[in-house]
Amino acid sequence: MATGKDVFVDLEGGSIPLYPGISLEDNVFRWAFIRKIYTILSLQLILTVAIGSIVVFVRPVAVFFVSSPAGLALYIVLVILPFILLCPLYYYSQKHPVNLILLSLFTVAIGFAVGLTFSFTAGKIILESVILTALVVVSLTAYTFWAARRGHDFSFLGPILFSAIMVLIFFGLIQAFFPLGKISVTIYGALASIIFSAYIVYDTDNLIKRYTYDEYIWASIVLYLDIINLFLSLLTLFRSVEN
């Protein structure tokens, strides 16, 4: 008979099957892989919150970015930098320690961009967005693990979500050059929130079943972007409604 201690060790070893048909050895390795990704993801989110808090609470930082030509230029660089870093991140995602250095730069750049967004948003809206983002991420992650254990597969969402994100990008470009008003911003925020919520399910399912063990950096980036984009979408939605 197994004792409580034996069961605890067994669970930590990954005896809970992630999905039907997975071998015991693959299951153990996959659980270790998942723990590594969520550890990296947690560190990314902590770093993002820390940098965002510095930008918000150390007012000279935000003032520098918005009131001086050098600050504005740096802000533009920080906004563009994550997009530039995605290519080398993908290429060097399996080359240590280059991957960790690029990942840190990527997270820092996004942290500053998020912090500057915080600086011009009411604290109530930020708190609402943070709480709802946390609830959605935890709920959808738990649901995806539960569904995967019962044999459900979400790979069919890939083409649908790709089409949806293209529509969202074009919608955003139209809104940027030809503002359509408060209602369109609200619709954009709501659609983006739904799309990135679905991406959390899709990418978590890929994490459970499809990513190779060497792709932990790229898997962390994908989930991190899902969470950040969901948060920013909710922020846009709440800010539009509040205004």
- pLDDT tens profile 59-104: 787 777 777 787 778 888 888 888 899 889 888 888 888 989 999 9
Rounded CA-CA distance 196/233 in Å is 8
Read off the pLDDT of each residue in 24-46 and give the average, rounded to a whole number: 93
Q: How confident is the model at residue 5 (pLDDT cuts 50, 70, 90)?
A: very low
Rounded CA-CA distance 29/213 in Å is 8
With CA atoms as reference, report the closest residue to 188 among 172, 166, 164.
172
Backbone CA torsion sign across 130, 132, 135, 136: negative
> Using omega within 30 degrees of 0 as the cis cutoff, is the peptide bond preceding 60 cis?
no
Read off the pLDDT of each residue in 198-222 and give the average, rounded to a whole number: 93
- Whether 8 shows a pLDDT value over 70: the answer reads no
Helices (H) and strands (E) counted in the chain, each on its own, are: 9, 0
- Residue 170 in tokens: 């074009």
Read off the pLDDT of each residue in 45-55 and give the average, rounded to a whole number: 90
On the CB side of 119, CA atoms within 13 Å amount to: 21
pTM for the structure as a whole = 0.89
Give the least confident one: 38-42, 46-50, 181-185, 199-203: 181-185
Per-residue pLDDT at 218: 93
Read off the pLDDT of each residue in 126-147 and give the average, rounded to a whole number: 95
Per-residue pLDDT at 243: 67
**Tell me, what DSSP letter sits at residue 180?**
-
Please say whether the beta carbons of 115 and 56 come within 8 A: yes
Mean of all residue pLDDT scores within the chain? 86
What is the largest distance, in Å, between two alpha-carbon atoms of the chain? 71
Q: How confident is the model at residue 151 (pLDDT cuts 50, 70, 90)?
A: very high
3-state SS, residue 92: coil
